[in-house]
Amino acid sequence: MPATNALVVGLNAVILTVNQDRPQVLIVPQDADGVALPFGPFNPAEHRTFEIGLRRWVQEQARFQLGYVEQLYTFGDRGREAPVAAMTDIGDSRIISVGYLALTSDTSTPPDGGGLWRDWYAFFPWEDWREGKPAVIEQEILPRLSAWADEAAAPGRRATRHDRLKQTFGEGGSRWNEERVLDRYELLYEAGLVDEAARDGQADRPSGCPGLGPAMASDHRRILATALSRLRGKVKYRPVAFELMPEAFTLSALQQTVEAIIGYRLHKQNFRRALDRAGFVEGTGKMESQTGGRPAELYRYRREALVGLPSLGLATPKLRDA
Amino acid sequence: MPATNALVVGLNAVILTVNQDRPQVLIVPQDADGVALPFGPFNPAEHRTFEIGLRRWVQEQARFQLGYVEQLYTFGDRGREAPVAAMTDIGDSRIISVGYLALTSDTSTPPDGGGLWRDWYAFFPWEDWREGKPAVIEQEILPRLSAWADEAAAPGRRATRHDRLKQTFGEGGSRWNEERVLDRYELLYEAGLVDEAARDGQADRPSGCPGLGPAMASDHRRILATALSRLRGKVKYRPVAFELMPEAFTLSALQQTVEAIIGYRLHKQNFRRALDRAGFVEGTGKMESQTGGRPAELYRYRREALVGLPSLGLATPKLRDA
DNA sequence: CGAGTAATGCTCATTTTGAGCACAATGGAG
DNA sequence: CTCCATTGTGCTCAAAATGAGCATTACTCG
């Protein structure tokens, strides 16, 4: 008997890569044209650690071998897991989701029957500022969030909502902080603007807000948002970007990767200056000539020379107008 | 029937405070003179979220109300949880530990029958460099770890072990990186030098290595190490230190707190300069005269003025000799 | 060959660090 | 009451890092 208070641990993998300037996340198609992260229940009898179980699920569902992996967060809130419970056929057990972030430089399409790469900003169109501020923010998000804030009954709650709006979306005084991907998603969820909210019964009606991207199964979009927040923060104080690069790469390719992650453009010369001051890379002498202009030298990451050091991250010298 | 592959989620709280220059962690005494973190199984039927369950356990066991709380990490490895399983009387279910970090400025002793404050460096004597490099590193740790590295059968594994040693304990070239508390603890565990290792059956014999502090129940010392690593990192990029301060405090008290966390001394003038450049604090006009010298102004944290901002952390301008 | 496009080199003003000197305001010892 | 040990606080100065940009180089394509 699957008792109501039985616990099931679900493992979820956010597998990211950057292909040229396209940031991608590995998803598995669900029936009824939904999408999900590779996931599955953790079987304690079979697997000694979460990571072993995770690698197994990803291999089975997405036909993909994981490299760099780190744990993200464990979600256990009642009320946001129902659809997966249904899908995985475990009655009304309570699901705990352990989210993992994995990075890979392997941008090849997984074999048939496996996962698919999908632009991760398809799920968060308001997060990509590389071509300037996304229009959807002014046109759709801010007006609706503002209306939602006004809807609150108590004046105190109205003020709090407006504050959160300002802080997360950076209107009026506060600047846009690209690391707050999760905060922004949570705000949109609470305001009922993303489709998951209606599905989970948080909003009384479907939002119908256009341009906010598709929902994902269960709380997977939340887990993806957590992953992006973490990655955007981490790239600045740990050399994680190199996990996304091939063995040899041009400095422009590295910069494109970082830009794809943080979602805004960088000052090229200063980015490079910081790079070699930190001693992260060394030239290989070989050249890449498919650049469209002057050929670029290929560099490699000096992994060995950096272990144990104070371990800084990449500089992210923003452009003035961005 | 408690099946072998049943899952139980255990919640563990690392509750930290700093009392003057004494960094403290809240522990609950166990029978047989062991100590543990406040912990207990998560009951999904009763509690909607982990945090609610956690607050309940801490209240019951340690008679303590939590304030600032953040999730740390979820451990699920087989083999390191046995003692808690026994204690909590749930047969041989598999335990998943969700660790939480909580910070408080309430340094008062919890009521009778509750928890106890204990110096957190009692569990990690090698981590406190405020009075210079702890002698135990040279005298006990390095010789034994070096011997352990030599013990490895394959020459390749010997080299890897020596590398890890260098990187974590910062011998030869690499500098001591105070954030790697967990890495250092894990190394000592693998090398069988801490008492938990023998208990868990990882080491063939008890280590008998003096000066490494007492074991804790289950994997609690590992969770505590995780908490310290996280806190030492976070203090540099988020203003978390203020969670440990009372409403009004002197800048020296704040500095003492930060020093207690990171485990080394700071340059006083530069610490203060960075503080007010960041706009973290403002003077209250009141003075504290129990300083032992010239009275110091009392400051307060400008919480309201900082929400939403790029959110930096405190500067940690090391002293040259430290 | 000339134009377009990147890569790369270099400069310059401004800020931020790292290190320290000096002075101010207490309490306690003599 | 004075001297002094002990902190708190202000200020300086050189060195390093950052932000912004101009200039040059080396390709490809038409």
- Position B309 scores a pLDDT of 55
CB of A67 less than 8 A from some CB of B: no
Please say if the pLDDT value at position B84 is more than 90.
Answer: no
On chain B, the residues whose CB falls within 8 A of the CB of A167 are 307-308
pLDDT tens for A34-72 read 899 998 889 888 888 899 999 888 888 888 888 899 999
Higher pLDDT, B206 or B228: B228
On chain B, the residues whose CB falls within 8 A of the CB of A237 are 237
Query: Would the CB atoms of B94 and A44 count as touching at under 8 Å?
Result: yes
- Position B263 scores a pLDDT of 94
Percentage of chain A beyond pLDDT 90 is 51
Asked whether the beta carbons of A125 and A211 are under 8 A apart, the reply is yes
Q: How far is CA A285 from CA A257, A275, A296, A298, in A?
A: 22, 17, 10, 7
Least confident of A43-47, A181-185, B75-79: B75-79
Asked whether the beta carbons of A102 and A67 are under 8 A apart, the reply is yes
- Spatial CB neighbours of A201, under 8 Å, sequence gap ≥ 6: A79
Q: For residue A174, what pLDDT band results from cuts at 50, 70 and 90?
A: low
Distance from CA of B78 to the nearest CA of A (A): 5
Q: Out of A9, A78, A168, whose CB is closest to B7?
A: A9
Q: From A22, A62, A10, select the one nearest A220 (Cα to Cα).
A: A10
Q: What amino acid is encoded at B16 in this protein?
A: L
Q: What is the CA A317 to C1' C17 distance in angstroms?
A: 18
The helix or strand, by DSSP H or E, that contains position A130, with its residue range, turns out to be none
The protein residue nearest nucleotide D4, judged by CA to C1', is B293
Please say if the pLDDT value at position B74 is more than 90.
Answer: yes
Q: For residue B322, what pLDDT band results from cuts at 50, 70 and 90?
A: very low
The mean pLDDT of chain A is 86
Least confident of A67-71, A153-157, B171-175: B171-175
- Position A203 scores a pLDDT of 67
Asked whether the beta carbons of B98 and B112 are under 8 A apart, the reply is no
Please say if the pLDDT value at position A4 is more than 60.
Answer: no
> What mean pLDDT comes out for the span B90-101?
79
Please say if the pLDDT value at position B80 is more than 60.
Answer: yes
- Spatial CB neighbours of A3, under 8 Å, sequence gap ≥ 6: A93
- Position A85 scores a pLDDT of 46
> What mean pLDDT comes out for the span B174-200?
89
- Position A291 scores a pLDDT of 81
Please say if the pLDDT value at position B170 is more than 90.
Answer: no
Tokens describing residue A35: 């999408």
**Pairing state of beta strands B68-75 and B296-301?**
unpaired
Three-class SS state of A280:
coil
Q: From B137, B312, B316, B302, select the one nearest B232 (Cα to Cα).
A: B316
On chain A, the residues whose CB falls within 8 A of the CB of B175 are 308-310
Q: For residue A314, what pLDDT band results from cuts at 50, 70 and 90?
A: confident
Query: Would the CB atoms of B48 and A96 count as touching at under 8 Å?
Result: no
pLDDT tens for A238-281 read 889 999 999 999 999 999 999 999 999 999 999 999 998 888 99
Please say if the pLDDT value at position B122 is more than 50.
Answer: yes
> What mean pLDDT comes out for the span B65-91?
72
Tokens describing residue B277: 């450049």
- Position B147 scores a pLDDT of 95
Q: Out of A8, A94, A177, whose CB is closest to B310?
A: A177
> What mean pLDDT comes out for the span B289-298?
88
Q: From B250, B96, B183, B172, select the one nearest A9 (Cα to Cα).
A: B96
Query: Would the CB atoms of A74 and B78 count as touching at under 8 Å?
Result: no
Q: Out of B8, B50, B307, whose CB is closest to A167?
A: B307
Q: Out of A74, A174, A307, whose CB is closest to B308?
A: A174
Could you tell me which chain A residue has the CA closest to the CA of B310? A177
Cα–Cα distance for residue pair B288/B20, rounded to 1 Å: 14
Asked whether the beta carbons of A318 and A176 are under 8 A apart, the reply is no
CB atoms within 10 A of CB B303: 10
The mean pLDDT of chain B is 86
Please say if the pLDDT value at position B139 is more than 50.
Answer: yes
Q: For residue B4, what pLDDT band results from cuts at 50, 70 and 90?
A: very low
Please say if the pLDDT value at position A217 is more than 50.
Answer: yes
Backbone angles phi, psi at B67, to 5 degrees: -110, -105
- Position B293 scores a pLDDT of 85
What does the DSSP assignment read for A18-47? EETTEEEEEEEE-STT-EE-SEEE--TTT-
> What mean pLDDT comes out for the span A227-233?
94
B45: left (phi over 0), alpha (psi -120 to 50) or beta: alpha
Query: Would the CB atoms of A76 and B42 count as touching at under 8 Å?
Result: yes
Distance from CA of A237 to the nearest CA of B (A): 10
- Spatial CB neighbours of A124, under 8 Å, sequence gap ≥ 6: A181, A184, A185, A213, A224, A225, A228
> What mean pLDDT comes out for the span A276-304?
89
The protein residue nearest nucleotide D6, judged by CA to C1', is B293
CB of B76 less than 8 A from some CB of A: yes
Which residue matches tokens 């451990």?
B75
- Position B81 scores a pLDDT of 59
pLDDT tens for A98-142 read 999 999 998 888 888 788 999 999 999 999 999 989 999 999 999
Q: How far is CA B184 from CA A96, A308, B128, B142, B258, in A?
A: 30, 12, 13, 11, 21
- Position B61 scores a pLDDT of 83
Rounded to 10°, the helix A251-262/A268-278 angle is 110
pLDDT tens for B250-276 read 999 999 999 999 999 999 999 999 998
Higher pLDDT, B48 or B322: B48
Distance from CA of B141 to the nearest CA of A (A): 18
Which residue matches tokens 């400051």?
B299
Asked whether the beta carbons of A229 and A180 are under 8 A apart, the reply is yes
Look up the pTM and report it.
0.88
> What mean pLDDT comes out for the span A188-205?
84
CB of A1 less than 8 A from some CB of B: no
- Position A144 scores a pLDDT of 95
What does the DSSP assignment read for B187-204? HHHHTT-SHHHHHTTSSS
Chain length of chain A: 322
Distance from CA of A7 to the nearest CA of B (A): 6
Asked whether the beta carbons of B194 and B215 are under 8 A apart, the reply is yes
Cα–Cα distance for residue pair A23/A228, rounded to 1 Å: 11
